[in-house]
Structure 1
Amino acid sequence: MTVVPGDRTPILVGIGEAVHRSKEPPGLEPLALMEQSLRAAEQDAGAPLLAGLDALDVVCEYSWPYSDAPGLLAARLGCRPAHLVYGETGGESPVRFIHEAALRIARGESEVAAIVGAEARYTVDAAAKAGLALPWTPRDDSVKLVRGTVLCHPVAVQLGAFMPTTIYPFYENATLAHWGLTPREAHAESARLWARYSEVAADNPYAWLHRRFTPEEVATPSPTNRLIAWPYTKHMVANPVVNMGAGVILTSVGRARALGIPPARWVHIWGGAAAREPRDYLQRDHYVGSHAQDLVMETVLAQAGGDAAAFDMLELYSCFPVVPKMARRTLGLAGDARMTSTGGLSFFGAPLNNYMTHAACGLVRALRAAPGKAALLYGQGEYVTKHHALVLGADPAPPGALAEDYSVQARADARRGPVPALVLDHAGAAQLETFTVIYGRDGQPTHGVVIARTPAGARLMARVPADDAAALALLTDADRSPVGRAGRTAVGEDGLLVWAFA
């Protein structure tokens, strides 16, 4: 059945990306990269859209905080949007902004909306190292950006487990044991997956790295690929030291027709879903998956007819391998499925919260070349915390597909089991729930961190000292997961718990 879209049907019509590879001052500040991206998106649409922009969402930016990024950008663009928003932190936020913009257009509250973001950390870090001042729009150092020390329990901060690089390994090590894999098997799966991501990045002109990595290069520690936190090497973690911007423009079918934008440029928003986990990762019921991610994946799968084969292209968020590994199992995808249109945060680059805007650009390009096809855009924020997915289509959505209420939070919460009480002073027997080992820049372990359960079922967090070579060897055994093994904790001199295997 041919669906004829109504005038209020929301569509993506313009995409734009900007990459500035030089770190030499003065470089391009984030505002300049944002402006470049939106002007490129307008050119891509082939119509004068920015002058009539009535909604502008700017993705939370870290490398050079501004006092009013949306207002400053609107002034550069020469427009005065009624909806002018600076987003909260979260890698899923571009997906949410696109979804919300589509709903506003469908309600008749907006006609032309843009989502944009940029980072310039490559230049900022180089200038700081050289002691040089950048002649950019004055930064606002009073802006309070959300950081791990704010989101995590104090004991996690004290043990050094409050950064994404040290938290996602808890999920990696728990899931591999839950799936019945050895650490070696799980690491090989991650390496193969990341090598395929690098192949996509190598062919993407907007990617930061244009090199194909073999699975062995991804997996094997070396002077240029040091261990970060077990089992992740440098090539397996996101690379935020980039200068990149991306933006998308949405409008209504009626406005597109009036402006003469041909239907071949349109990409339709079919629907989506969102949910989140408790922000403090120690207040979650387990680490062998995510109820929020599962419900989001199951919902968009149903929207596509119940078979992941309906998604001819996908973007599964890729800050760390465990994220797409969990998602593809819920979707029922084969291990060798292509899960990115963009190249992944390790190889394409990780402009922090704005990666998914680049991913949206990649999927739009792919859908324009594939009439009748659909795509899945899935982003994640914080620490397996916030999940948002959108189904995009080259053709109009089925009637009623774009629902106002896209939250699946209640169903995700209903699946959540009891959360173990957190204890800080347990001395005695415990069973290992999950763990990681944190490494210094010299490639040597600084310490291990374990999450464990007491005989009464309470949860604790403890340190494994760097001089406990036997314990570190058990934690990093490639052929046997230590999850479930027995140990004991004692209170150390600093008041934090110390773990030893029984």
Structure 2
Amino acid sequence: MSINDNTPVIIGVGEASERIDAPGYAALSPAALAAAAAKAAIEDAGAGDIAGQIDVIAAIRQFEVSGPGAKPPFGAADNFPRSVAARIGADPRHAILEVVGGQGPQHLVNEFAHAIASGETGVALMVGSEAISTVRHLAGKGESRDWSEAIGGQLEDRGYGMEGLLTSDLAGHGARTPISVYALFENARRAREGKDRASYALEMGRLFAPFTQVAHGNPHAMSQEVYSAEDLATVTGPNRLTSDPFPRRMVARDQANQGAAVLMTSVRKARELGVPEDRWVYLWGGADVKERTPVQRQDLSKSPASTAAVRRAMEVAGVSLADIDVFDLYSCFPIAVFNICDDLGLAPDDPRGLTVTGGLPFFGGAGNNYSMHAIAEMIRRLRARPGAVGLVGANGGFLSKYSVGLYSTQARDFQPFDSKPLQAQIDGWAAPVLDQTHVGEAAVETYTIDYAGPAPRGVVVARTPAGARIIAMTPPDDTAVVGEMIATDPLGRRAILAPGEGGKVLVSGFAG
């Protein structure tokens, strides 16, 4: 068939990684890991001087520079994308540093597919990396490195993009980290499912046990050990509770040294560069949306914006769930996967599998860049199965941002997609009333117990008799209440709430 010359195609993907216990470990910096991945992507395209043809490099932020005032322990380049460019012999006209969030890699692919289709961009390289494991390893030995670089040059820094992700109501009561907020989502789902702690832990284990088998065969995975559902569900010393209901092996593994890159251009440019057509993979459809803040969601066990994005991407691509052959669903925590499966009717044990990498807890949660690895592996798998269709779902924030891509080697003209109408619908959804003045009993909607500090701390989300939502915490100087939460499941009970200092709402006990 005749394909429009401006149709965007992915022509190269690359990954780089190192484990601190592996032979040849070199303690590479994030820029070095990213450059190694970029070189691998150029080589993967199987053509000539592609580096010199790159006119845009868009980079993902490392975790250590993902917040205001952040200071990388070993320093960093002042222009990360151009630091990578210098290492691969590229001199792009435009360098970009993307906003924070795991949706970033897929969002960039969606963005530059449109830029290439419109003729605005010729060749785009998307790249990212993390060296969190190396930083912790060296710091633990009292060693340091100097990874600072004064590169200068043009840079479009898009900022952090964290506005509106989390409100003070949750953060002020102790739910301010991803693990504690996702724990609230997870226990809300457990409440919806009507399961006790033990049976739900096993359900999470059954979801993630197949992921460990995929990671076992992935040379870039940070953990290649295979675990059973029971292994993952059972709390032990090495598999300690982090925030109820998550044992350590159920959460994203941030100790990773990994880089990944994706190279994209048009059909016309791919031919000019001499890229063989068996390297080409097409983006059939996509979507990018932003969810309401957690307290503005009617049901904390769900993120309907995420599943709406998946449905919209499938609509653009003209496919159904049954037509998709390969999946990679973002898996920072079980709820991120359950959320998609529950709404779409996708079985957690679907024989097609739900990850191509092994997932964030086992392959590695390479900061904001995990899905760049998912896209890279997806491209390789689709090349090995000509005509198959693959879906990548990328999540950022607190189930806050979701970007989707549908891919295939089967040639198809690019169909531009606009997520603004869908976003307008999401923005118009009704939000629950928040009442932080209520005193007395309130039905527990969800909760978590954070075990990270010197003593466990509880956070409770409840509904007042009038139906308003209220956020509360256990008293910092009273371990009896959190002890009761540990001993007796708070779900299905009524929390007794009282005012505390600084506008806080405290849980003084439980009834029912």
Residues 231-270 of structure 1 mapped to structure 2, 5 A cutoff = 231-270=245-284
Q: Give me the whole-angstrom Cα distance separating, in 1, the residues matched to 2:118 and 2:160.
A: 32
Q: What's the counterpart of residue 478 of structure 1?
A: none
Residues in 2 aligned to 1:449 and 1:463: alpha-carbon distance in whole angstroms: 4
Distance change (3 Å), C-alpha of 1:92 and 1:318: same
Alpha carbons of structure 1 residues 145 and 437: separation in structure 2 relative to 1, 3 Å: farther
Query: Unaligned 5+ residue runs, structure 1?
Result: 476-481
In the TM superposition, 1:219-238 aligns within 5 A as: 219-238=233-252
1:485 to 478, 484, 493: 493
Determine whether 1:209 maps to 2:226.
no
Match of 1:130 among 134, 141, 153: 141
- In structure 1, the residue matched to 2:332 is 319
**Which residue number in structure 1 is paired with residue 10 of structure 2?**
12
Q: Supply the AA of the counterpart residue of 1:385.
A: S
Q: How does 1:327-346 map to 2 (within 5 A)?
A: 327-337=340-350, 338-346=353-361
Cα shift at 1:86: 0.3
Distance 1:277 1:187, change over 3 A: same
Cα deviation, residue 400, structure 1: 5.7
Read off the aligned partner of 2:12 and give its amino acid letter.
Answer: G
User: Aligned to 2:407, what secondary structure does the other structure show?
Assistant: strand
Say if 2:89 is the partner of 1:89: no
Closer/same/farther in 2, CA of residues 98 and 130 from structure 1, 3 Å limit: same
Q: Give the drift of 1:311.
A: 1.1
Q: 1:122 to 1:10 in 2, by over 3 A?
A: same
Q: Is the 8 A contact 1:367 1:374 kept in 2?
A: yes
Q: Residues 397-454 of structure 1, C-alpha deviation per residue, up to 9 Å, x if partnerless?
A: 3x5633355762122234x22332241x432121111111111478xx6121101122
Correspondence for 2:404: 389
Choose the corresponding residue for 2:471, options 454, 461, 476.
461
What SS is found at the alignment partner of 2:113? helix
| Residue identity matched to 1:450 | V
1:335-484 map, 5 Å: 335-337=348-350, 338-397=353-412, 399=413, 401-405=415-419, 408-414=422-428, 416-423=429-436, 425-440=437-452, 446-465=456-475, 466-468=479-481, 469-475=483-489, 482-484=490-492
Cα displacement string for residues 174-223 of structure 1 (whole angstroms, at most 9, x for unaligned residues): 12322444443332221011111111111111111111111111110000
For 1:293, the equivalent position in structure 2 comes to: 306
Out of 276, 279, 282, which is 2:290 matched to?
276
Between the aligned partners of 1:144 and 1:59, the Cα distance in structure 2 is 11
Shift of 1:462: 1.3
TM-score normalized with structure 2 length? 0.89
Instruction: Measure, in 1, the Cα distance between the counterparts of 2:263 and 2:296.
Output: 38
CA contact (8 A) 1:273 1:406 kept: no
Matches within 5 A, 1:91-240: 91-138=102-149, 152-240=166-254
SS of 1:99 mapped into structure 2: helix
Structure 1 residue 56: Cα displacement: 0.8
The range that moved more, 282-291 or 345-354, is 282-291
CA offsets 1:224-282 (integer angstroms, 9 cap, x no match): 0000111110000011111110001011111212222221111100111121113x422
Whichever residue aligns with residue 434 of structure 1, its letter is T
Query: Could you say which residue in structure 1 is the equivalent of 2:42?
Result: 42
Which residue identity is paired with 2:334?
P
Deviation readout 1:38-77 (Å, 9 max, x if unpaired): 1010111111211100111000112444321122222223
- The residue that corresponds to 2:504 in the other structure is 496
Cα deviation for residue 160 of structure 1 reads: 2.4
| Letter in structure 2 aligned against 1:428 | G
After superposition, the Cα gap between the structure-2 partners of 1:167 and 1:405, relative to the gap in structure 1 and judged at 3 Å, is closer
Specify the code of the residue in structure 2 equivalent to 1:447. R
TM-score normalised by structure 1 residue count: 0.90
Distance in 2, matches of 1:16 and 1:226, equals: 34
Which blocks of at least 5 consecutive residues in structure 2 are unaligned? Answer: 65-71, 152-156
In structure 2, the CA distance between the partners of 1:145 and 1:242, relative to structure 1 (3 Å rule), is: farther
Residue 310 (structure 1) aligns with: 323
**CA-to-partner distance for each residue in 1:328-377, whole Å, 9 max, x for gaps?**
12222122021001110000001110000000011001100111110101
SS in structure 1 at match of 2:268: helix
Percent of residue pairs bearing the same amino acid type: 35
Kept after mapping to 2: 8 A contact 1:297/1:330: no
CA distance in structure 1 between the aligned counterparts of 2:474 and 2:243, rounded to whole angstroms: 13
- Aligned residue identity for 1:330: D
Change (3 A) 1:149 1:169: farther
Moved more, 115-124 or 59-68: 59-68
1 CA distance for matches of 2:290 and 2:410?
30
- Letter paired with 1:124: V
Tell me the matched-pair count.
486
DSSP 3-state at the match of 2:129? strand
- Does structure 2 retain, via aligned residues, the 8 Å contact 1:291–1:413? no
SS at match of 1:356: helix
Give 3-state SS (helix, strand or coil) of 2:114's partner.
helix
1:1-31 residue CA offsets vs partner (Å, 9 max, x unmatched) = xx43221111111011000223899721111
